[in-house]
Amino acid sequence: MVNEGRKLERAAPLTMEGYARRFELLVTRTSTEYDIMTRFTRNVISDNNFDKEPVKMLSVGAGRGHFEKRMVEELGLKLEYIYAIEPNPAHLGLLETALNSINVKYDIDPSFFDEKFAFNGKCGVKDQKFDFILFSHSLYAFQDPHGAVNHAVNFLKPDGKIVIFSHGGPDISDHLYNYVLERSDPEIFNTKLTHVNHGLTAQSIATFMQEGRSDLNVKLMQETAHIDVDEFVRGEEKEREGGLISFFMQCEYRDLSEEARKEVYDIVVPYCELKGDRYMIRHLCAGVIISFK
């Protein structure tokens, strides 16, 4: 037993607001992840003429609209309309600002997307079929991520594409998340209480769709990304709060026991490389493309 002979950890999961703050940190830190996502998406856009023909898009878990805005401004996505689903109220204002800035027709829906989701007349696309459906690092927040992707296929045009970005694995994110999960009081920290499940990997999503849907093409790609965690490695972050490490774990680093903090630090360091004068943590950035055969 993992917890035999030691007290259970009692660190609470990050709140939605806490998650939003950590996400902001992820976006603003020096990282190669968005470069990988950009390169991956550029190929999808060009290969499917999404830069030439008007595109109707569904974004599930749109966050602050950062990547959707980037696709239009930097990758040439000819976006005509977007239906953006984002249940985290901390993101909604910035999402609306981002969509207004790219001058497209849009609807924002704060509801959750699951296998029972329906547009109920709110959608700006009459047949409720989309050229492009995006899950950009959002499936971690789903109770049934595999069922959500399977349901999204119902809204895909015959020649459309679903693009999913997620952690690859096994990787630092699922390593840290599962470390906390295995050592915590299950009444305080479990997969249903955390805002996201960083134990989810792109491989599990791709395998589920490949095995369950013979009518689909499923392609998995992954590449190593690096994110700046220099202050954590050097012990310089304020109160050793953990920064991005807390984001991966889905709890505050400083709320762990002294023993657990040391073990987490010892897990993180082998994943780090010195790039110039900064320590960067490597992790797998994965993309899944789904289309009809």
Burial of residue 51 (CB within 10 Å: 0-12, 13-18, 19+) is middle
The pLDDT of residue 122 is above 90: no
pLDDT at 1: 46
The residue behind tokens 């920064």 is 243
Provide the sign of the torsion angle of the four alpha carbons 224, 226, 227, 230, taken in this order: positive
pLDDT at 2: 57
Query: Is residue 55 within 8 Å of residue 159, measured between CB atoms?
Result: no
User: What's the pTM value of the predicted model, to 2 decimals?
Assistant: 0.88
What is the average pLDDT across 156-169?
A: 94
Rounded distance between C-alpha atoms, residue 160 and residue 287, angstroms: 16
| CA–CA distances in Å: residue 222 to residues 93, 218, 219 | 32, 13, 10
pLDDT at 3: 56
Query: Is residue 285 within 8 Å of residue 223, measured between CB atoms?
Result: yes
The pLDDT of residue 68 is above 70: yes
The residue with greater pLDDT, 120 or 285, is 285
The chain-wide mean pLDDT, for the chain, equals 91
pLDDT tens digits, one per residue of 224-275: 999 999 989 998 765 455 688 999 999 999 999 999 999 999 999 999 999 9
pLDDT tens digits, one per residue of 128-147: 999 999 999 999 889 899 99
pLDDT tens digits, one per residue of 167-209: 887 889 999 999 999 999 999 999 989 988 888 899 999 999 9
Q: Which ranges constitute the DSSP H helices of the chain?
A: 16-28, 33-47, 66-73, 89-101, 145-152, 172-183, 202-212, 230-234, 244-249, 258-268
pLDDT at 239: 45
The residue behind tokens 């609470």 is 12
